């Protein structure tokens, strides 16, 4: 790179001409980075518009309220399955994740906290297919191909998200708040739960919602655990269970238009839920992250 | 804090229990990691009984058992083809996403007025929220063919005439290809590159820019000569993080890569990736060795993403210490 030094060719130019060139480069690069930013958001609009257009003709009451084998097929069991498996995954990993995050932020020594951070980093980096393999190897032999195994496979992915966000937001709570509470003679556990955690509650909630949205959208772990089914399976975690991502994955390459149409319609529903959850929790904090 | 009941009798004895409970939960994370690693390694053992890890990595063929003439069954498992597909798709993804992501982040941090930067940042982040199976469906049902008929066709009919691995037979173009999987991955990792680069560009002190501009540099020169070099480690970290994400991505890749055996002669032909191979073969894996071979693929994937996140962590730590010193 030329750094600040000017090339021989530039040095031979009249000073005015050189400045003109530099101004022109500046203008061009401004347009280039603008264009890059525009390109970066383009896929979002393209995707949302395209999925919506393909899905709209197939959104009927039957789509939402019938099961795949009904005469007017729908994906009710997949919607229910996705919601209940994600809910169960969060029910199991939410408390553990929050408690672990609180420990790492409030009680762990610097050494333990840094080990904890590395562990969470690695867990966050686990490819979803590997989480699925793990559940397939360890849980399926015990629980069978079932909603239980599916929920726990999703839990492997949600646990580090909850733990990380809890730890981060707990750290942001000013020490003076804890000290004020402790100075009043309130025991540490009450201070932590009712003062520190309560102050950090919106952030913790954000982490839980993000984890839920991740769980709702995951496909790979469910392929080899919950497997999918055509039967209705409301709260029946003991057998194979359907989920929206599984429906999209399996219907995508179907031969008939109706099945493919249902894949698009399911994709629209799934995308709408995921986007809505993210819009709600992210929009509130976007100002502070950009400013 | 009105609900805090300060008149509650002291119960100091509850504190150690409370700490232990929380500590147990935190230890749960470490335990999970240990159990996953242990279980994966243990499940690959049947494979190592018939094949060495080295031959597993270097073999291209994946033969799950063929009766031979002499009565024995031939069983060979090789990760090379899948590893090639993973490397190729991830590198293609980074090749497209890194320049656009970093330049886009430069716009958001350096040029965009606040009323544009806020919604734009928000929209880019939203891309990351879309489930990968939706990307897969989009790619399968529309995007993939568009890429084939535009970028792929253009490359194949220009550079592809001279470079065989960028060539495509225009008479019978494949429905899926490694290149298309990589391109879809590029869209999926873009938000991550933008978000992480943005953080590091923002952390460059304003005084550095002001000093350089005060000496007569244009804004772009300040970015090129001061801001980007200062944030360089962070930008590399952003790209590495995205690479890690691309390597692990399963479903969208599975849907458009074509699940073909072997290493294709051209990037515009169907291939396979590690994650896609696991996802599409685990259902039919009957014997212990077949499962072990797929788990070995998963283990390789796990180790790759582990190494990447470790590199990122170490390099970014160096960056933060430098920042603290300066």
Q: Do B138 and A51 touch (CB under 8 A)?
A: yes
* pLDDT-derived band at A1, boundaries 50, 70, 90: very low
Q: Does B120 touch chain A if contact means CB atoms closer than 8 Å?
A: yes
Enter the tokens of residue B206. Answer: 């304003």
pLDDT at B128: 87
Question: Domains plus CATH for chain B?
Answer: 25-77 (no CATH), 80-325 (1.10.3720.10)
Provide, as residue numbers in chain A, all residues whose Cβ is less than 8 Å from the Cβ of B117: 290
pLDDT at B135: 92
pLDDT at B147: 81
> Quick one: which of B13, B6, B14, B15 has its CA closest to A185?
B6
Q: Which of A100, A128, A287 sits opposite B118 (nearest CB)?
A: A287
Enter the tokens of residue A15. Answer: 């000073």
Q: Which helix (H) or strand (E) holds B77?
A: strand B73-77
Enter the tokens of residue A121. Answer: 């980093």
Inter-residue contact B276 to A101 (CB < 8 Å): no
Residue A5 predicted with pLDDT over 60: no
User: Chain B, 37-56: which have a CB under 8 Å from a chain A CB?
Assistant: 39-40, 43
pLDDT tens for each residue of chain B, 326 residues long:
334 444 444 555 678 888 888 888 888 889 999 999 999 999 888 888 888 888 888 888 888 777 777 777 778 888 888 899 899 999 999 999 999 999 999 999 989 888 888 888 889 888 888 999 999 999 888 888 788 778 877 787 777 777 777 777 666 667 788 888 999 999 999 999 998 899 889 888 888 888 888 888 888 889 999 899 988 888 998 999 899 889 988 888 888 888 888 788 777 778 888 888 898 888 787 788 888 889 999 999 999 888 888 888 887 766 554 443 33
Provide, as residue numbers in chain A, all residues whose Cβ is less than 8 Å from the Cβ of B196: none
Mutate to test the interface with A, among B128, B129, B217 (most CBs of A within 10 A): B129
Residue with tokens 């599409």: B280
| ipTM of predicted assembly, 2 dp | 0.87
Provide, as residue numbers in chain B, all residues whose Cβ is less than 8 Å from the Cβ of A100: 22, 25-29
In B7-146, where do the E strands start and end? 62-67, 73-77
Beta bridge partners of A286: none
- CA of B103 vs chain A CAs: smallest distance (Å): 5
pLDDT at A3: 47
Q: Which of B23, B283, B306 sits opposite A122 (nearest CB)?
A: B306
Residue B4's closest chain A neighbor by CA? Answer: A194
Count of CB atoms situated within 10 Å of the CB of A5: 8
DSSP state of B283: T
Q: Give the Cα separation of A119 and A122 in Å (integer).
A: 5
Provide, as residue numbers in chain A, all residues whose Cβ is less than 8 Å from the Cβ of B110: 33
pLDDT at B7: 45
Q: Give the Cα separation of B146 and B169 in Å (integer).
A: 17
Q: Which of B39, B120, B142 sits opposite A37 (nearest CB)?
A: B120
Q: Give the Cα separation of B191 and B194 in Å (integer).
A: 5
């Amino acid at each position: 790179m030329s750094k600040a030094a000017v090339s021989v060719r530039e040095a031979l130019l009249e000073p005015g001409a050189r400045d003109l060139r530099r101004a022109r480069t500046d203008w061009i690069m401004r347009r280039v980075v603008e264009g890059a930013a525009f390109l970066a958001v383009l896929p979002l609009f393209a995707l949302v518009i395209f999925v919506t257009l393909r899905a709209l003709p197939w959104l009927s009451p039957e789509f939402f309220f019938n099961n795949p084998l009904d005469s007017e097929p729908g994906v009710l069991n997949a919607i229910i399955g996705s919601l209940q498996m994600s809910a169960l995954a969060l029910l199991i990993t939410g408390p553990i994740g929050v408690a672990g995050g609180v420990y790492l932020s409030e009680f762990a020594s610097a050494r333990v906290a840094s080990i904890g951070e590395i562990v969470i980093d690695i867990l966050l980096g686990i490819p979803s297919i590997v989480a699925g393999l793990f559940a397939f190897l360890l849980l399926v032999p015990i629980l069978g191909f079932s909603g239980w195994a599916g929920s726990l496979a999703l839990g492997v992915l949600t646990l580090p998200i909850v733990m990380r966000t809890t730890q981060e937001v707990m750290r942001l709570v000013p020490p003076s708040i804890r000290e004020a509470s402790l100075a009043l003679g309130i025991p540490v556990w009450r201070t932590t739960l009712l003062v520190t955690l309560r102050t950090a509650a919106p952030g913790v909630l954000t982490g839980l919602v993000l984890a839920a949205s991740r769980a709702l959208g995951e496909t790979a772990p469910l392929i080899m655990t919950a497997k999918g089914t055509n039967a209705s399976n409301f709260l029946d975690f003991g057998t194979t269970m359907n989920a929206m991502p599984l429906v999209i994955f399996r219907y995508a390459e179907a031969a008939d238009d109706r099945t493919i149409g249902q894949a698009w319609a399911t994709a629209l529903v799934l995308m709408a839920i995921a986007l809505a959850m993210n819009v709600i929790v992210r929009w509130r904090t976007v100002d502070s992250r950009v400013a | 804090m009105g609900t805090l009941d300060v008149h509650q009798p002291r119960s100091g004895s509850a504190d150690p229990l409370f700490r232990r409970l929380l500590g147990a939960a935190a230890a749960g994370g470490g335990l999970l990691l240990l159990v996953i690693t242990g279980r994966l390694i243990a499940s690959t053992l049947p494979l190592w009984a018939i094949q060495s890890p080295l031959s597993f990595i270097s073999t291209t063929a994946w033969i799950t058992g063929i009766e031979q003439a002499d009565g024995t069954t031939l069983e060979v498992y090789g990760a090379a083809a899948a590893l090639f597909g993973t490397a190729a798709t991830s590198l293609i993804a980074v090749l497209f996403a890194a320049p656009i992501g970093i330049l886009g982040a430069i716009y958001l941090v350096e040029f965009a007025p606040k009323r544009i930067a806020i919604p734009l940042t928000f929209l880019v982040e939203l891309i990351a929220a879309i489930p990968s199976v939706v990307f897969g469906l989009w790619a399968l049902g529309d995007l993939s063919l568009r890429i084939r008929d535009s970028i792929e066709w253009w490359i194949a009919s220009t550079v592809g005439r001279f470079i065989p691995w960028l060539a495509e037979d225009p008479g019978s173009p494949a429905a899926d290809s490694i290149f298309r999987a990589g391109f879809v991955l590029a869209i999926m990792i873009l938000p991550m590159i933008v978000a992480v680069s943005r953080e590091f560009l923002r952390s460059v002190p304003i005084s550095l820019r002001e000093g350089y501009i005060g000496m007569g540099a244009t804004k772009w020169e300040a970015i090129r000569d001061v801001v980007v070099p200062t944030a360089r480690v962070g930008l590399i970290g952003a790209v590495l993080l995205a690479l890690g994400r691309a390597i692990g991505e399963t479903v969208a890749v599975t849907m458009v890569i074509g699940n073909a055996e072997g290493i294709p002669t051209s990037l515009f032909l169907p291939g396979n990736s590690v994650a896609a191979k696991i996802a599409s073969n685990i259902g039919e894996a009957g014997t212990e060795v077949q499962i072990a071979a797929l788990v070995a693929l998963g283990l390789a994937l796990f180790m790759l993403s582990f190494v990447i996140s470790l590199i990122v962590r170490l390099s970014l730590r160096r960056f933060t210490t430098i920042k603290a010193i300066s």
